[in-house]
Structure 1
Amino acid sequence: MSLAEDLDYSLFNDYINGFMMSKVMFTACELGVFDLLESEEFLTFDVIAERLGTSSHGMEQLLDICVTLKLLKVEMKRGKALYQNTELATLYLTKSGSKSQYNMLLYMSKTTYSCWNHLTEAIREGKNQYMRTFGIPSNDLFEAIYRSEEELTKFMHGLHEIWSINGRDVITAFDLSTFTLIYDLGGNPLRSIVLQCINLCVQCYPGSAPFTLHQFLEFIIHLGDFFRDPIPEADLYILARVLHDWADNKCVQLLRSIYQACKPGCGVLVVETLLAEDKRGPLTSQLYSMNMLVQTEGKERTPTEYHKLFTQAGFQDFQFKKTGKIYDAILARK
């Protein structure tokens, strides 16, 4: 084979085995490998297996793959391999990590990964795969996504973890200091985002952001079904990872309800991952859009597609900013 062919085959092989690498990381998290090694460094595979209740043979293989993936480090002492976390694992894969993504990884392993087993059917049929995966009708989206209290809690904690990394870039994309009463619509764990917004606005625009604890509590109390419940009056509505769940007509319905509820000058902050205008990137956005096909009735969209939705709902002032992170920001005003 030529050098070019070798490189092509290497890339091809990476693609083939990509799902295996993801599952290795998910499994190590689920078994508690990284949490154990955070509390006790330099353990042998047999000790780790005993502590976590697994087979020694399986655990040794898992640990060594994690070393190759740079999730763990290993030192040889007296002929024995001693394992410890890498900085990446400590930061993102332990429950106590400062930027832990533990809950989202478990959700992806238990729910997303399972649904993606039916990607072929999702593409053929053009609808989510909760019926095949969990026996839940595909038209009952809320029951599918939040099918148990445990699942809901895990999902909400996972979203909070994502915002711990992406929230600051989203909130600082625009000057939000003129908005004094903020509501989340959609049940996302926006507590962290709103608190960041309060803190950042006070830091960046001293004296211009009169946020209060009472307003924050109102924000929490008024969460509900935004398709059936009245939309409360506010200065700014936050839709974080909401519109991508729904088909265009549902998005316009929600945005129109917000438009009718708010006064001139009020705004809507949308937090989503934006596709390029030709829809051929970024890769993460494309994969997330495919995930919307598998798990919801929506999709990720381009800035132009979002502009069209807002225009149909009545909004005229529309702007967006790419943050350079996974999630981008859109701000529209009435």
Structure 2
Amino acid sequence: MERTAADAHVPGAQVPEGGPGGSGLMPGPLERAVYGLFVSSSLDLAARHGVFARLAEHGPSGTAELACALGLDEDTLGRLLTVLRAFGVLTADPRGRYSVPAASLPFLDPRESRYLGGFLRHLMESTTERLRRLDACLTLGRAGAEAALAEPLDEPFADLYRDAESTDRFLDAMWQLSFDVSAELVELAQLEGARHLVDVGGAGGPFAVAALLRHPGLRATVFDLPQVGPKLAETGAAYRLGERLSFSAGDFHRAELPAGDCLAFGYILSDWADDTCLDLLRKAYRACAPGGVVLVMDRLFDESGYLPPATAAMNLAMHVETQGRHRTGAHYLELLRAAGFTGCEVRHTSREKHLVLGRRAAGPGGAER
């Protein structure tokens, strides 16, 4: 599970029309950080009320035209659009007609696989509220904050899965963040020899579906909490995967993992502390066929330990949403080796999420894939 206010920044957004230096009252990076709250809120509202969808479908439009077409208040919409233009999310021609820059369009057009509207809504409705708990963590420490607040800081799933609507909304957000990059992760994983993929905590199946679409001879099992089952069934039907995509209900903390020759953890281990990650990887080792592989997919800090910015922001969110953190590739390699895997390596995508791979040694007389 992954959520961070930093992700509300739209990749490829143009530099604001006022220039990179800010208003003159403060440096540009500081100004963007101070007023980022308004940008995130404006992005979320514009996405939910169809502004970006309208621009993507009908092209440049003025405030009055958009307000009329979408049934919105023109004054409020105009102020919102001004914020998005000032921060480079939208551009406007001399006639005041707004457009989405081409680089940002795949992230703001609901018809695109990289659309992040659902994730923006999750940020504003869930993550923002939980970030308020950082004050208690900062002054009291995590354990002290939990005692003072009389509630655990790291049990978001009970709320996210409280009913069918909440579950669908969360799984949709995770799909939007994961499906598009999954195609690249599948290529890096080199699954040509795999027969059975077990996607641990696979949610709505973005990685499993991408793998099945790329490898016709593969079958996949998503192992996750029972609430996920209906959504996965819808996904399987939508992609006409039939029996190739199956669901196994369970809690990976309490149960052993289904057996397969490829075990995948997509954005799961960053939710947990090292000792829990090691326990899960040891379960994966036991479930993995000799010669098989384990795949860890996640955001990674680079060697600097603080970049990229979205990973740093996510790392802070993890402090109040989970028990985990984001790690470097080297850190994951250590965990994989400690769990018994060999031939471990990091493979980078062109995006913000990457692959760390480990192999289970083949049995006597066998060969590793």
- Scaled by the length of structure 2, the TM-score of the pair is 0.75
Asked if the contact 1:128/1:294 (under 8 Å) is kept, the reply is no
Matched residue, 1:170: 185
The match for 1:250 among 266, 273, 276 is: 276
Q: 1:289 to 1:139 in 2, by over 3 A?
A: closer
The yes-or-no answer on 1:266 pairing with 2:292 is: yes
Equivalent-residue separation in structure 1 for 2:322 and 2:257 (angstroms): 23
Equivalent-residue separation in structure 2 for 1:300 and 1:75 (angstroms): 41
The yes-or-no answer on 1:116 pairing with 2:131 is: yes
Equivalent-residue separation in structure 2 for 1:231 and 1:49 (angstroms): 52
Matched residue, 2:40: 22
Q: 1:212 to 1:10 in 2, by over 3 A?
A: closer
Matched residue, 2:267: 241
The yes-or-no answer on 1:32 pairing with 2:32 is: no
Please tell me the root mean square deviation across aligned C-alpha atoms, in Å. 3.2
Equivalent-residue separation in structure 2 for 1:328 and 1:59 (angstroms): 38
Equivalent-residue separation in structure 1 for 2:125 and 2:215 (angstroms): 37
Q: 1:198 to 1:86 in 2, by over 3 A?
A: same
The yes-or-no answer on 1:92 pairing with 2:107 is: yes
Asked if the contact 2:208/2:220 (under 8 Å) is kept, the reply is no
**Which SS does the other structure have where 2:52 is aligned?**
helix
**Higher helix proportion:** 1
Once the two structures are overlaid, the 10-residue window that deviates more, 65-74 or 15-24, is 65-74
Matched residue, 1:69: 87
Equivalent-residue separation in structure 2 for 1:11 and 1:89 (angstroms): 20
Equivalent-residue separation in structure 2 for 1:132 and 1:144 (angstroms): 20
**Higher strand proportion:** 2
Q: 1:51 to 1:223 in 2, by over 3 A?
A: same
Matched residue, 1:207: none
Residue 234 of structure 1 deviates from its aligned partner by: 0.4
Asked if the contact 2:202/2:266 (under 8 Å) is kept, the reply is no
The match for 2:207 among 165, 190, 193 is: 193
Equivalent-residue separation in structure 2 for 1:188 and 1:212 (angstroms): 16
Q: 1:251 to 1:218 in 2, by over 3 A?
A: farther
**Which SS does the other structure have where 2:48 is aligned?**
helix
Q: 1:238 to 1:131 in 2, by over 3 A?
A: farther
Residue 139 of structure 1 deviates from its aligned partner by: 5.1
> Could you list the runs of 5+ residues in structure 2 that have no partner in the other structure?
1-20, 222-240, 361-369
Matched residue, 2:234: none
Residue 110 of structure 1 deviates from its aligned partner by: 1.4
Amino acid of the structure 2 residue aligned with 1:279 = G
Matched residue, 1:56: 74
Equivalent-residue separation in structure 1 for 2:53 and 2:171 (angstroms): 21
Residue 181 of structure 1 deviates from its aligned partner by: 0.6
Residue 62 of structure 1 deviates from its aligned partner by: 0.9
Deviations 1:153-202 (A, max 9, x none): 12211222222331122122232211111111113233x32333244346
Once the two structures are overlaid, the 10-residue window that deviates more, 141-150 or 269-278, is 141-150
Matched residue, 2:347: 321
Residue 239 of structure 1 deviates from its aligned partner by: 0.5
Matched residue, 1:211: 218
Asked if the contact 2:345/2:358 (under 8 Å) is kept, the reply is yes
Amino acid of the structure 2 residue aligned with 1:151 = S
Residue 51 of structure 1 deviates from its aligned partner by: 4.7
Q: 1:113 to 1:128 in 2, by over 3 A?
A: farther
Asked if the contact 1:91/1:98 (under 8 Å) is kept, the reply is yes
Equivalent-residue separation in structure 2 for 1:74 and 1:127 (angstroms): 49
Matched residue, 2:230: none
Q: 1:177 to 1:127 in 2, by over 3 A?
A: farther
The match for 1:151 among 166, 183, 190 is: 166
Residue 104 of structure 1 deviates from its aligned partner by: 1.3
**Which SS does the other structure have where 2:175 is aligned?**
helix
Residue 248 of structure 1 deviates from its aligned partner by: 1.4
Matched residue, 1:221: 247
